[in-house]
Structure formats: structure tokens, C-alpha cells
Amino acid sequence: MTASAQESISRHYNIFNPSIDSLSRATFHVSAPAARVVSVVGDFDSAPLTLKRDSTGLWSGTTGPLPSELYTYRLVIDSTEFADPANPYQVRDIAGISNMMIVGGGKGDNFMARDVPHGTVSKVWYNSPSMGRERRMTIYTPPGYEASTDSFPVLYLLHGMGGDEDAWNELGRAAHILDNMIADGKAEPMIVVMPNGNGRQWAAPGFTSQGLYQPALELSVADNDQFEKSFNEIVSFVDDRYRTKTDRRHRAIAGLSMGGGHAWKISAMNPDMFDAVALFSAKVGWKGDPNADTNTEEMDIFMKPLLDNPPSYYIMSIGRDDFLLENNREFDDFLNSHDMKHDFVLSEGGHCWRNWRDYLTALLPRLFKDAK
């Protein structure tokens, strides 16, 4: 074996992807001597990054300078997609595993652990009498919660279709964002409750007696708003188990996509419950819901309790490429026509976690500031 081949083999065993240089360019190496075409597909670029093979079978390629951000990617080897074996930082979205990479030096830093006090993240089971099951949720308690005797405000943070109680903390990096923003004085210390919002699923795949089954999109259209109707059970559980401030001013609800629809409905169904409501790329309104038989008058009726008793802060955030934009425009018009104060924030991009992390980051400083 030549020295160069030996060097190459030793290189192949020491791959860690990506390496990120001082210009924020990410370099990938893939050891795949028999492959014909190797590329990296990720949300750092709309085009795949095609890697080039060297004489030892090591493929490599480098992106251009990347804005500071958390990105996800996969390898495509001869048209089959794989998670990158040289990067163990992975996230699951429904049944698909992607690798994670963070370009620091800017907002990406907000999604990484820093040397700041850390909250506790717990996987907790609660009983839902209305759904007839123990159900799983993720709870974040802020740094200092356990050593304190204070009560804390609560943000209920709801995932989208395809997600579960793990989604906001894994894909959404909720605990990292909270730790960092609380440390920087940008967010009040708060409890964050991330329940499983699927009407017919009671825990993330692998945590039920269904065993290790194939995760699939959990469709909520036919579940008769079971989750929304059961939400008071979650609030009661949280107020019972944790030291919470139980008045309206110390409760907020936010959700993305299907969970944005949940936040919309739950806040209207419980008008005394939340003082801040955030709809991220929300499935708001009944448009596109095959089982809905509703019209403008029904929205009037549904929203009346909240219109009569509006929360202090109500925000809709959505990307200009989002397929739910029209739903959101219509609801924005509805709120305007009923003079309900709210923000409508249009961002770049579409229906994706990159936006939802940003929306959460923008929301947190608005919560519980004046509610001491």
C-alpha cells in the first residue's frame, strides 16, 4: 500500500462533517470509493452540492459562504438518500433522518448550547380522561426553577402535522433558544409545555405499545378536534404539577402549522386562558379542511368570545412562499374587519423549521414582560 493510500485511509476514518472554515464555508467529505455520483442536499442551498472524487475514493465539496444558521442535509449517493455517517448530530422529521449543522457567528449561535445556566427538559406522561389515555409531553423548566419557590409563567408550544412532543425541542431547538435568551435577558424565565397534538397518537413513535413502527403523517382532519377539546386537561395538569402563575396574563400559546391551527382554536375556545397567542404558518380557518362545512358567519360566531375579550398580544407569522399564506391573509382580513389588534408578520421563505425557530425567537421577548 502506498503512503498516499494509507494517508487516505487514515483520512477516511477521521471524517467529521462538515468542517466549517473562517469564511463560513462548509466542506463535506464522503468515503464512497464505489459510488458514481455523490452530492449533498440541504436547506443551505436550493441546488445540491455535487462532490468530486479523488483517486482514493474520497469525495469532497465545499459550499460558498453561508449565513449563520442551523441547516439540515442528507447525502445522495447514486440517487439514494442517506444520513451522513460522518455526522452523528441528526434529527427526525416523521420517518426521515437528516443531519444537522450549525454555522455560528450570528443567529446560529442561538441554536447551540452555550455556557449559560440550563433549564431542565423532561419527558412527562399525563392522563387525558377525554382521550382515554396517558399521553406524553415535553416540559422545559427554566434555570433556577427547582431551587426556587417562585411561580412561573407558561408558554404552550404546539407542533405541526407530522410532528410530536419531541419536535419543538429537537427540530425547533426550543431548550437551547430558551436557555440562551433567558441568559441574555431577552426572555423571561418561563415554563414551556410541548404536548403531543395529534388526536390519534399519544406519544412519539417508539414510545407506545405500537412498538417500532413506521412513522407516518398523523392526519388531524378527521379527529374531531379531540386535542383542542382536551386542552384544558393539559393546563390543569401543568398547573397542578408545576409552580405556575395561573392567571391569563401569565399564559401564552403558540403553534406552527397544524399546531398554529390548534393555537387559534384553543385560544378562541378558551378566551380567558391566554394573554398572548402566536400562529406560526398556521392552518388557520377552515379553508382546505375537507370535513369543514363552515362560512364567514361561523368564523364570527367562533371568534366572538375572543373578539370580546382579546388577548394583549396576537401575532400571525408566515413566509411569503408558504402554502398556507392565503388562509392567513383571509384571517388577517377577518381580524382587521373586526378591529382586533394583532400583528401580521410576513417573512421570507416557506413552511419550514428555519422560519419557526425564527418566529419563536422573535416571540419570546414579547411574552410576560409586563406581567410581573
**Site residues (vs a second copy, CB under 8 A):** 16, 30-36, 77-83, 85, 87-90, 92, 95-97, 100-102, 104, 112-115, 117-118, 120-125, 134, 136, 143, 146, 203, 205-209, 211-215, 241
- The distance of closest approach from Cβ of residue 241 to a second copy in the complex, given in angstroms and rounded to an integer, is 6
When the beta carbons of 77 and 258 are compared against a second copy, the nearer one is 77
Kindly state the cell numbers that stand for 201: 397518537
Concatenated DSSP letters of 106-123: SGGGGGS--SS---EEEE
- The distance of closest approach from Cβ of residue 272 to a second copy in the complex, given in angstroms and rounded to an integer, is 27
When the beta carbons of 115 and 308 are compared against a second copy, the nearer one is 115
When the beta carbons of 88 and 288 are compared against a second copy, the nearer one is 88
Chain centroid, CA 205 distance in Å: 17
59: β partners? 30, 53
When the beta carbons of 39 and 87 are compared against a second copy, the nearer one is 87
Q: How far is CA 218 from CA 141, 163, 165, 215, 222, in A?
A: 28, 8, 13, 9, 10
Buried b / exposed e over 172-182, threshold 16 CB at 10 Å, is bbbbbbbbbbb
- The distance of closest approach from Cβ of residue 125 to a second copy in the complex, given in angstroms and rounded to an integer, is 4
What CA–CA distance (Å, rounded) separates 297 from 307?
14
When the beta carbons of 83 and 221 are compared against a second copy, the nearer one is 83
Q: Show Cβ contacts of residue 109 under 8 Å, excluding neighbours closer than 6 positions.
A: 68, 180
Name the 3-class secondary structure at 16. Answer: coil
Name the 3-class secondary structure at 276. Answer: strand
- The distance of closest approach from Cβ of residue 199 to a second copy in the complex, given in angstroms and rounded to an integer, is 18
What CA–CA distance (Å, rounded) separates 183 from 364?
13
- The distance of closest approach from Cβ of residue 110 to a second copy in the complex, given in angstroms and rounded to an integer, is 13
- The distance of closest approach from Cβ of residue 114 to a second copy in the complex, given in angstroms and rounded to an integer, is 5
CA dihedral for 155, 330, 167, 127, sign (positive or negative)? positive
- The distance of closest approach from Cβ of residue 78 to a second copy in the complex, given in angstroms and rounded to an integer, is 3
- The distance of closest approach from Cβ of residue 165 to a second copy in the complex, given in angstroms and rounded to an integer, is 12
When the beta carbons of 203 and 335 are compared against a second copy, the nearer one is 203
- The distance of closest approach from Cβ of residue 109 to a second copy in the complex, given in angstroms and rounded to an integer, is 9
3-state helix, strand, coil in the chain (%, to 5): 25, 25, 45
What CA–CA distance (Å, rounded) separates 145 from 149?
8
When the beta carbons of 178 and 367 are compared against a second copy, the nearer one is 178
When the beta carbons of 129 and 211 are compared against a second copy, the nearer one is 211
* DSSP conformation class of 337: H
| Rounded (10°) angle between helices 231-241 and 258-269 | 80
What CA–CA distance (Å, rounded) separates 252 from 363?
10
- The distance of closest approach from Cβ of residue 277 to a second copy in the complex, given in angstroms and rounded to an integer, is 29
When the beta carbons of 2 and 80 are compared against a second copy, the nearer one is 80
What CA–CA distance (Å, rounded) separates 330 from 348?
19
When the beta carbons of 55 and 295 are compared against a second copy, the nearer one is 55
